[in-house]
Structure 1
Amino acid sequence: MTVLINSPHLAAEGVAVLEAAGCDLHFVEAFPPPERVAEAAAEVDAAAIIARQGRITAAVMDAAPNLRVIARHGAGTDEVDLEAARARGVLVTRTPGANARAVAEHAIALIFLMVKDLPGMQRRVAAAGWREGDMQVRDIAGLRLGLVGMGPIGQETARLGQGLGMTVSAVSRHADDMAFRHARRVSNLETLLRESDILSLHTALTEESREMLNARTLALLPRGSLIVNTARGGLIDESALLAALDSGHIAGAGLDVTTSEPPPPDHPFRRHPSVVLTPHVAGVTALSMVQMATDAAECVVAALTGGIVPPDRIVVPSRLDGSREQPSPS
């Protein structure tokens, strides 16, 4: 039971689950290209891959003819070629909810930074300035928070936002009514945009959702709105967002993700005065790393030993598994 982890590290609790089941673990360097993962998968004849950093392509799967399961260390699966896995009968799993609180807290932190203009005030103080006569700090209570996606992260963000006194609305393709305990359900994205002072993205990146925020949709937001993205960079047309920021139509963007990661050194979001950019770390907290590693390890062990993988973790069922695919998180 050889397991390849496309990262140099896995939380000790996850390693313990795998080793207790008799798995043989192999690691590679951080953020390896698919070619390196394919090489390592072939060398060790991987039966399982824990996909933590970097893409898992069809070539990676073909390099490991005995591959049975790809376990995502996280909720998103856009870095795994799902069609290739489906064609080869390889089980693909994810860890929904494992980092929900951490990512929701990060989204709220970005909202605080922008609404209170903390980066701007810090720059002013560092430049020997102080409070100006017309300076005002905005209230968070009463702002309209719009959420795209009501999976575990969206639901937790709604709960925190409501607790801060924001009016929370949301749109989701798959969530049932129970997911909307802390938000008003809106029927479509266009309505949500028109009614949001802050828009926060918590949906999966698919061909349908790619660049869902573009020149047309950004224009639907009220002037002075804020954008938060802790999901995937590809949800936003970055050129359109840059133009909306420069024009002042969008007052600020709090981004934990970008289309290309890391963004090139000259990427305008790195130094834009209206952008708070963090390096895709929203879910990288001590507690969430342990939970994601443990959940992914449990999926691997179950798949390799004939156990039961929790249905909500299955993205693509194996050819030998009768479980149904779960919809993309939103």
Structure 2
Amino acid sequence: MRPTVLVTAPRLAAAGVDVLRQAGARVVYTTRPDDAGEIEALMASEPIDAVISRTVQLSGKAIDACPTLKVISKHGVGVSNIDVAAATARGIPVFMTPGANAASVAELALGLMLAAARHVGYMHGELQAGRWTRKQDGIELRGRTLGLVGFGQVAQRLSRIALAMDMQVLAFDPALQNKPSPVPGVSLQPSLDALLPQADVLSLHVPLTERTRGMVGARELALLPPGAILVNTARGEVVDEPALVAALERGALHAAGLDTMAVEPLPAGHALARLPNVVLTPHVGGSTPAALAAMASGAAHNVLQWLDGKPVSAQLCVNPETLTEKAL
């Protein structure tokens, strides 16, 4: 019997569709990209075997409503929109696709860093408005120190680029304590507090967990050097946004480059959108065609392998306690 796979988005990249089609899977899509209620209704009414989760909330209610559900795979790596605890209680593994979008996110982080340093977004807007506003207080990054919070595949890629730009690079990642740096030339720091006072540019690369929620607040921002830059391509909730706005408004920070916000889509008139020293993009770090294809095919392979009873790497699973002999 062919499996039914729910994709929590109106479409999936062709690379993923091809994998599912070749396996004979029936694919069900949501039609409204931000409607968690639609997902709950579909899972209560359809015999869903697997879910490929994009950005919409996959709630415990939705998971519990679907007795046929056997496996979930995130289209990416951040699982904060999935009720992992509810899946674990049902014995349902939740997989992810690490590395599939690493190059895409790292390159956008670099772009935000450069744009924030030189006020590119502000001057672009001024020119569009017919004003020849030449801000000349931009920061050269050569010789500056980049501080990376989280040192997984995205941050490691970004670190190599920064080193090539003659920046100093520091990183803090609790998972790498007492271990050698995976990137030569990058100095691992013993704590976030040790990293912050040295970071002319602070770039965030951590998942959203209860430990990381609000981890960069007023206290942490005050520890940064005067005129530092904050870049966030991780999750908006990692940063205390009112504290960030206050630091930007009083000039304690030079600028910020943000691909993620605490509330998405960003509400109209939000303070972050009004500040001239903020560069914003709408959570598109991993949304290049190449990254979308890699995430789609990876997520499709994850769910099909599990459904077929084939070995699946435990390194791809965020709740490995649900794995059985099918895990590697």
User: Normalised by the shorter chain, which TM-score bucket?
Assistant: over 0.9
Counterpart CA distance in 2 for 1:167 and 1:3 is 46
Identical positions, percent: 38
AA paired with 1:316?
N
AA paired with 2:124?
Q
TM-score scaled by length of structure 1: 0.93
AA paired with 1:315?
V
Q: Equivalent residue for 1:129?
A: 132
Structure 1 residue 163: Cα displacement: 1.2
Q: Equivalent residue for 1:196?
A: 199
Alignment of 1:44-59 (within 5 A): 44-59=46-61
Is the CA contact 1:317–1:323 (under 8 Å) kept in the aligned structure 2? no
Q: Which runs of 5+ in 1 are unaligned?
A: 326-330
Q: Equivalent residue for 1:271?
A: 274
Is the CA contact 2:32–2:38 (under 8 Å) kept in the aligned structure 1? no
Q: Equivalent residue for 1:187?
A: 190
Alignment of 1:98-113 (within 5 A): 98-113=100-115
1:256 aligns with 2:259: yes
Alignment of 1:1-330 (within 5 A): 1-125=3-127, 126-129=129-132, 131=134, 135-175=136-176, 176-317=179-320, 319=322, 321-322=324-325
Structure 1 residue 315: Cα displacement: 1.1
Is the CA contact 1:96–1:312 (under 8 Å) kept in the aligned structure 2? no
AA paired with 1:267?
H
Is the CA contact 2:310–2:326 (under 8 Å) kept in the aligned structure 1? no
Segment drifting more, 74-83 vs 170-179: 170-179
Question: Using a 3 Å threshold, how does the CA distance of structure 1 residues 307 and 219 change in structure 2: closer, same or farther?
Answer: same
Counterpart CA distance in 1 for 2:158 and 2:200 is 15
Number of aligned positions between the proteins: 323
Counterpart CA distance in 2 for 1:252 and 1:130 is 17
AA paired with 2:310?
G
Counterpart CA distance in 1 for 2:263 and 2:33 is 13
AA paired with 1:80?
I
Counterpart CA distance in 2 for 1:233 and 1:131 is 31
Counterpart CA distance in 1 for 2:277 and 2:72 is 39
Q: Equivalent residue for 1:328?
A: none
RMSD of Structure 2 on Structure 1 (CA): 1.8
Q: Which runs of 5+ in 2 are unaligned?
A: none
Is the CA contact 1:89–1:317 (under 8 Å) kept in the aligned structure 2? no
AA paired with 1:113?
A
Structure 1 residue 115: Cα displacement: 1.5
Counterpart CA distance in 2 for 1:314 and 1:140 is 37
Question: Using a 3 Å threshold, how does the CA distance of structure 1 residues 98 and 237 change in structure 2: closer, same or farther?
Answer: same
Counterpart CA distance in 2 for 1:131 and 1:212 is 35
Structure 1 residue 31: Cα displacement: 2.4
AA paired with 1:6?
T
Structure 1 residue 310: Cα displacement: 2.3
AA paired with 1:111?
M
AA paired with 1:226?
I
Superimposed CA distance per residue, residues 125-182 of structure 1 (whole angstroms, 9 cap, x where no aligned partner): 45433547xx354322111100000111111111111111111000002145353334
- SS of the residue 2:216 aligns to: coil
Is the CA contact 2:311–2:327 (under 8 Å) kept in the aligned structure 1? no
- SS of the residue 1:177 aligns to: coil
Counterpart CA distance in 2 for 1:267 and 1:193 is 27
Is the CA contact 2:116–2:255 (under 8 Å) kept in the aligned structure 1? yes
TM-score scaled by length of structure 2: 0.94
